[in-house]
Amino acid sequence: MPTIVAESFRFFSLRVLRTRRLGPSLVRVTFDGEDLDDFRSDGLDQSLSLFLPQPGQSEPVVPVELGDGWWQGWRELPDDVRAVMRSYTLRALRRDPDEIDIDFVLHGVEPGASVPAGPASRWAARAAAGDRVLLIGPAMADNRAIRFRPPADTDLVVVWGDETAVPAVSAIVEALPAGTRARVWLEVARSGDVQELVTAADAEITWLVRENRCSEDRGGENRCGEGSPMALDALRGAELPAAERPYVWIAGESGCVKALRRHFVHERGIDRRRVTFVGYWRRGLTEEQLRENGD
């Protein structure tokens, strides 16, 4: 029987099927698994919890046999035994055969990088076919980990995301129906990280490339992210099409997301109820610290 971790969610045991480098800072990992036929999601920004093995382990250690007590049991494991837990968004779900794609941002894995790579970046950079992971994912297509929900009367979709949100933004843009007006900004580290997105929508997509303007480390110094001057300058200088009922979705570094939300609500006067904002990470804090802080 599968371990149910919350309403609509359960554990999935997966293995790496293949990997593909998308750019200097991005790698796509494709997974399969015997129970993926129970994986359900109708969302375009579906959030997932991924468990990765520690160095030297063949698979992640998570006490799923404890049922509802798995979380406490996992937290009590020794640091060098407990599986690394990280949050990601689903890039794609395919059937026949059942496969999912998850895109990883590679922080600090390049030779001479100024900051050390985190455990997820190290794992993704070395991932190979057959590697095992665990995933907490949805068993119900419509679930609370889906945030992109434009109201039916939306007449303009506005999207911003940094590299951690590129998978979600890409899925959103590609799925927008013909006739939808959209203005999209994506911020990435290098020009090689820019991807071609195909959509039927009337979408104007702008890539903001930092190159060497700032560090790329989630837990280090990234001066671009303090309200992201690049993002704020781009959005403040943008002339959006006239719209009576716009919908805004912004995701990425928490400080930047909050600054952009203030811009849309206070400077552009968009109804705060029509602005979805998601902090995927916070500068200077690891995901473990974020969870301890209740974020």
Which domains does the chain carry? Answer: 4-138 (2.40.30.10), 156-288 (3.40.50.80)
User: Please, are residues 247 and 274 in contact by the beta-carbon 8 Å criterion?
Assistant: yes
Question: What does the DSSP 8-state code read for residue 265?
Answer: I
**DSSP H or E run through 258:** helix 254-262
Q: Which residues of the chain have pLDDT under 50?
A: 1, 111-114, 212, 215-227
* Ranges of H-type helices in 16-136: 70-75, 119-126
Residue 167, phi then psi, degrees to nearest 5:
-60, -45
Strands, E, within the chain: which ranges? 4-6, 9-23, 26-32, 47-52, 84-89, 92-94, 99-105, 132-138, 156-162, 181-188, 202-209, 246-253, 275-281
Sign of CA dihedral 164, 245, 43, 48: positive
**3-class DSSP assignment, residue 267:** helix
**DSSP H or E run through 290:** helix 287-292
Structure tokens at 266: 């206070």
Question: What does the DSSP 8-state code read for residue 223?
Answer: G
Residue 219 confidence (pLDDT)? 37
Residue with tokens 């001479």: 112
Residue 65 confidence (pLDDT)? 94
Instruction: Give 121-159 pLDDT, tens digit per residue.
Output: 999 999 999 999 999 999 999 999 999 999 999 999 999
Q: Rounded to whole angstroms, how far apart are CA atoms 86 and 52?
A: 8
